[in-house]
Chain A
Amino acid sequence: MRFDELASKAGKAAANVGRRAERPPFSRILDKHRSRVLIVGWSTVAAAVMVILGVALLWPGPGSESPPAAVDTTPTKLATTTTTMSESTTSLAGGIVPGVLEGGREACPVTAPGDGPFTPEAETPDGPPPSYQAVWYGTPELWTMVHSQGQDWVSLPVGADGSLTQKTFWWSDDFVLGEELEPDITVTAEHLDGSAPTLEAGGPGTNGSHPELGNFMIVGLEIPDEGCWRITAEYRETTLSYVAWVDVSSPGAGSDLSATTVALLDGSDLEIVGPAGLKLAGFLFTLESPRIGSSNVSLSPGVDPADSSMVDQAAVLESNLGEGVRLWRADREGRPFFMTVDLGGWVALLHVGNQTAPRTEDLLSVADQLSGATGQRGVILSNYSPDVFTTYLEDPNTANQIHLGANQCIRERVPGADVVEDPTRGELIRGPEYVSWCEQAANIEVMVYGDEQFVERVVAELTLGRHQPQQP
């Protein structure tokens, strides 16, 4: 068959898939969207806790010159609003808001998306990743992320002086990462009940980059007290404000994936060792990869890196960095470099660097982390990213899979599946070669895919519990 003939045929076939799809009334889509937001809304508190844990561990605090790691760029729960945005400036009525201290969270005019999310025209994605449950908020001159359900900063890391540390994230069409590594952005935090002094930070801030967030500016805050705070950023004569409720006492709901052990099948254990580590044994980690710093990590059983789906197309060996450690270049947009580390039958693939090759010593450090801490078939990764909410595990020999969805119990129905009651697991969604349930105590949704024997065994044997890190 000629290429054009096949292409034309394929185009028509795919178009027909769209034509055959049912087009629901748009009002039903709106309705479904509302329901979905309500269902998952509660879990965002837990998500915030996860992120804050990451921030606490990975961010050394304001004033640090350490570049931000891409792994901890998820904002903690951001704002809800009662305000209407102007063209380039958003702010609440200035001054102290009476009754905020007494009224608590309910009296705090936290910021919300308002009339509609802002969609950047530039290189930035059209919205934050869906898992953030947030939208862009602001104007092309200056915008941030605002959580669709309300801007609650809960369980912020507590500094040595008792202050609460938090990162704030800002975008601007005028911000060019390569030209402004330390952007001249300032952020002030004003306690709306007036019981704490106004803070100022930044000037300069630092920068960050994330494949799903684009390039952005970061300013760290040390907030001295909980309560209702107006956060205002100023960058190139544009200001943007939102109001956040800071609550040090609320532990939030949800799972602490960082302290979870998943014991499974014949000694093939998955241990998530502290918030900075993940140990896999006997499983292929797929797609939703952990990260080291800004590097995505994927483990594959002995594949030729050039054939890996992580690479997408043929790769060229850039250099041999050491025994079993190689740097590759592939024709990929944005992130052409990746490295591979031979782990003895397994190969770890890491997307590293952006347009320029990273420093060799950094890469070797990562390789040491991987190979030095590797068990027979496992690996311990430090700086495991808490913003990866779903962990996919796949047995490379059978393609049996377990998905652990942290901080979510969405309970999505799979076509063909039924809801059944299990004496130990509670309500199961069960279909052919599939079962899912919620581990309510840990706030983890477990989804199991595979042959019947595997599924049944996981239902019977999988345990989630506290992990006690071993002393080295």
Chain B
Amino acid sequence: MAEPDGLGEIRVPGSFELLYQRDYAAVVGLVYGMTGSRWVAEDLAQEAFLRAHRDWVRVGDMASPGGWVRRVALNLARSRWRRLRSETMAKLRVTSHVEVSNPLPDSEVEVFWTEVRRLPSRQAQAVALHYLEERSVAEIADVLGVAEGTVKALLHQGRERLRRQLRAKGLVDEI
């Protein structure tokens, strides 16, 4: 049911609001992993939820509206990242005196996500969903809209490539 939110005709359907409250932080974190910018992550997460809200009649009936939002957010991240990366980097540099410049605690963690972002996009998305949200193969398949077998392959290839990249940087041990 729609509930007034104090902004005149703007109404937020109740079940949508629940989804937003429950999943917002997770979607921001997910997009952060894919973009490296909290500023961009918040922007894209909000855009993904906006799209869900606009199309809530349809999205709300889906088996996994949260998965739909994540898929939209990941697609937004993929298509917009190239456009925003240069600008965002510059802005982060400009605003380096504020917290947003490096929200990750360790350089090795930062390098990890940098290397994730160098993976082919589908592999990167699967890896992010796996390690960041601890999603199962079936859940990742639902979010990415691919078969479970494809997810297994993406995860295998992504992890192997990532392992090599991190090993080359001396961040992980040789097997």
Contact A287 B83, beta carbon cutoff 8 Å: yes
In-complex Cβ contact of B10 among A15, A30, A287, A312 (8 A): A30
Contact A14 B7, beta carbon cutoff 8 Å: no
In-complex Cβ contact of B46 among A9, A29, A432 (8 A): A29
* CB neighbours of B94 from chain A (8 A): 414, 416-417, 431-434, 449
The answer to whether the Cβ of A18 comes within 8 Å of any Cβ in the partner chain is yes
The answer to whether the Cβ of A98 comes within 8 Å of any Cβ in the partner chain is no
Contact A126 B113, beta carbon cutoff 8 Å: no
Interchain nearest-CB distance for B98 vs A (Å): 6
* CB neighbours of B100 from chain A (8 A): 415
Contact B173 A1, beta carbon cutoff 8 Å: yes
Max chain A C-beta neighbours (<10 A), residue from B16, B130, B161, B163: B163
Contact B120 A401, beta carbon cutoff 8 Å: no
* CB neighbours of B47 from chain A (8 A): 130
Contact A394 B103, beta carbon cutoff 8 Å: no
Interface string of A1-42 (1 = CB under 8 A from B): 111001111110111111111111111011101000000000
* CB neighbours of B171 from chain A (8 A): 1, 6
Interface string of B1-39 (1 = CB under 8 A from A): 000011100101000110011001111111011000010
* CB neighbours of B29 from chain A (8 A): 14-19, 21
Closest to A332 in B: B120
Closest to B24 in A: A23
* CB neighbours of B32 from chain A (8 A): 14, 17-18
Contact A8 B131, beta carbon cutoff 8 Å: yes
Interface string of A107-121 (1 = CB under 8 A from B): 000000001111100
* CB neighbours of A332 from chain B (8 A): 120
The answer to whether the Cβ of A344 comes within 8 Å of any Cβ in the partner chain is no
Max chain A C-beta neighbours (<10 A), residue from B29, B93, B103: B29
* CB neighbours of A198 from chain B (8 A): none
Contact B83 A2, beta carbon cutoff 8 Å: no
Contact B95 A447, beta carbon cutoff 8 Å: no
Report the separation of the CA atoms of residues A15 and B16 in the bound assembly, to the nearest whole angstrom: 22
Interface size on B, residues (CB 8 A): 80
Interface size on A, residues (CB 8 A): 63
* CB neighbours of A312 from chain B (8 A): 118-120
Report the separation of the CA atoms of residues A13 and B85 in the bound assembly, to the nearest whole angstrom: 21
Interface string of A419-436 (1 = CB under 8 A from B): 000000000000111100
* CB neighbours of B59 from chain A (8 A): 119
In-complex Cβ contact of A2 among B27, B90, B91, B173 (8 A): B173
The answer to whether the Cβ of A129 comes within 8 Å of any Cβ in the partner chain is yes
In-complex Cβ contact of B25 among A21, A24, A117 (8 A): A21
Interface string of B64-106 (1 = CB under 8 A from A): 0000000110011001101101110011011101101001111
The answer to whether the Cβ of B172 comes within 8 Å of any Cβ in the partner chain is yes
- Give residues of chain A (115-151) contacting chain B, Cβ–Cβ below 8 Å: 115-119, 125-127, 129-130
The answer to whether the Cβ of A390 comes within 8 Å of any Cβ in the partner chain is yes
Closest to A330 in B: B120
* CB neighbours of B86 from chain A (8 A): 286-288, 392, 394, 401, 403
Contact A3 B163, beta carbon cutoff 8 Å: yes
The answer to whether the Cβ of A362 comes within 8 Å of any Cβ in the partner chain is no
The answer to whether the Cβ of B148 comes within 8 Å of any Cβ in the partner chain is no
Contact B10 A13, beta carbon cutoff 8 Å: no
The answer to whether the Cβ of A333 comes within 8 Å of any Cβ in the partner chain is yes
Interface string of B45-69 (1 = CB under 8 A from A): 0110111011111110000000000
- Can you sample 18 A-B contacts with CB below 8 Å? A3-B166, A6-B166, A7-B112, A11-B132, A15-B132, A20-B103, A27-B12, A29-B49, A30-B7, A117-B55, A130-B47, A286-B86, A331-B120, A332-B120, A392-B86, A394-B86, A403-B90, A414-B95
Chain B residues proximal to chain A, CB less than 8 Å: 5-7, 10, 12, 16-17, 20-21, 24-30, 32-33, 38, 41-42, 46-47, 49-51, 53-59, 71-72, 75-76, 79-80, 82-83, 85-87, 90-91, 93-95, 97-98, 100, 103-106, 108-109, 112-113, 118-122, 127-128, 130-134, 159, 161-163, 166, 171-173
Given A390-B87, A415-B98, 14 more A-B residue pairs with CB atoms under 8 Å apart are A10-B108, A10-B131, A14-B104, A18-B29, A20-B103, A26-B5, A27-B10, A117-B51, A117-B54, A119-B58, A119-B59, A125-B75, A126-B75, A449-B93
Chain A residues proximal to chain B, CB less than 8 Å: 1-3, 6-11, 13-27, 29-31, 33, 115-119, 125-127, 129-130, 211-212, 286-288, 312-313, 331-333, 390, 392, 394, 401, 403, 414-417, 431-434, 447, 449
